[in-house]
Amino acid sequence: MRLCHACLSKPAEIFLDYSQRRLCIDCFLKYYEKKVKQTIDKYRMIKVGEKIGVAVSGGKDSTALIYVLKKLYPSLNLVGIHLNLGIKEYSNHCNEILREFIKKLNIPLIEFNLLKQLGFSIHDFEGTEHGKKICSICGTIKRYLLNKIAYEERINKLATGHNLDDIVEVIFNCYLQGDVTQLSRISPITPANHPKLVARIKPLCMMTEMENLLYASYLELPFRSLSCPLSKGNRSLKQKRLINEKIVQEIPTFKHMLFKSYLKRIAPYFKTYPNVEIFECKYCGMPTSKDVCAFCRLTQRVKKLIVE
């Protein structure tokens, strides 16, 4: 029987391949919480008295996030924000699990239902020219609505459950595509550069997807068991699989190295990267780099199709 490398007394249950450490469940939970706290402190993500919105989807990452934030900062002014995207079976499943869980944590939950409040769902984009890039459309809609809700609710910072696997996949893709603009935006904390933009923080950016899954599972936190039916062909899932099944097998430190070297050696060059000029959308008044924001461009087209 192998013993935990931290307490040297209990049997090891978890092997962290990137650091070659074996931990028992209790030491893993302590390690997880300590690392999240260190990340929050290092990047000064949260200040005393701030109101923090947490985007909760019902998945393991955001579930682990809101739980660990409440545990680390019991008196923090936390608010959950959940978008019901109207995806058949999946969205209601996420919604139900989440409602009960957030209530138990004694955290207020803001729910936004796309179908009820805007008259369309993510399915309505399936028959359009965007049908093949449904996750990218969904991402644009989620980003816009989360920011709008956070802005209207006077939330100081919006926390999302992005994990190390998510970030590494985006860096990997930016390198592949030579997408310097997108690369320049990758950061544990995104400041608000317009009065209607809410700063974003990623407290789980140093935790792998597997670590979030283990944390949520060992604590028996409820998270969705269904996967999104629209995720088929999703680029990010394919690239994450490639990274985990091929590269990490050969280089266990790959994900940590890629993000750390990016933060240390590449991100500093972006301090002088030209910021795009920000205007206000002529329809909704929210910030955009064009005269009409991406959300209004997408949704106006879909609303027209529904009426037709």
CB contact at 8 A, 259 and 271: no
Q: Closer to ligand SF4 at the Cβ: 38 or 136?
A: 136
Q: Closer to ligand SF4 at the Cβ: 133 or 196?
A: 133
Under the binding rule (CB under 6 A), the answer on residue 98 touching ligand SF4 is: no
The alpha carbon of 192 is separated from its chain's Cα centroid by a whole number of angstroms, namely 17
Where helices occur in the chain by DSSP H, the ranges are 25-42, 60-72, 90-104, 114-118, 134-152, 164-177, 180-184, 209-218, 235-242, 248-250, 254-261, 294-307
Q: Closer to Zn ion at the Cβ: 46 or 141?
A: 141
Under the binding rule (CB under 5 A), the answer on residue 293 touching Zn ion is: yes
Place of tokens 């796309």: 114
- Of residues 209 through 248, those in contact with ligand SF4 by CB under 6 A are 228, 230-231, 234
Under the binding rule (CB under 5 A), the answer on residue 281 touching Zn ion is: yes
To Zn ion, the closest distance from the beta carbon of 282 in angstroms equals 8
Size of the site for ligand SF4 (CB under 6 A): 10
Q: Closer to ligand SF4 at the Cβ: 45 or 230?
A: 230
Residue 13 burial by Cβ neighbours in a 10 Å radius (0-12, 13-18, 19+):
middle
Q: Closer to ligand SF4 at the Cβ: 24 or 161?
A: 161
Under the binding rule (CB under 6 A), the answer on residue 298 touching ligand SF4 is: no
Under the binding rule (CB under 6 A), the answer on residue 135 touching ligand SF4 is: yes
Q: Please list, in sequence order, all residues whose beta carbon lies within 8 angstroms of the beta carbon of residue 172, skipping any fewer than 6 positions away.
A: 239, 243, 258
**Which residue in 37, 31, 33 sits closest to 13, CA to CA?**
31
Under the binding rule (CB under 6 A), the answer on residue 54 touching ligand SF4 is: no
Tokens read off for 74: 């019991």
Q: Which helix (H) or strand (E) holds 49?
A: none
Residue selected from 46, 134, 155, 158 as contacting ligand SF4 according to rule CB under 6 A: 134
Residues that bind ligand SF4 (CB under 6 A): 85, 122, 134-135, 138-139, 228, 230-231, 234
Residues that bind Zn ion (CB under 5 A): 281, 283-284, 293, 296
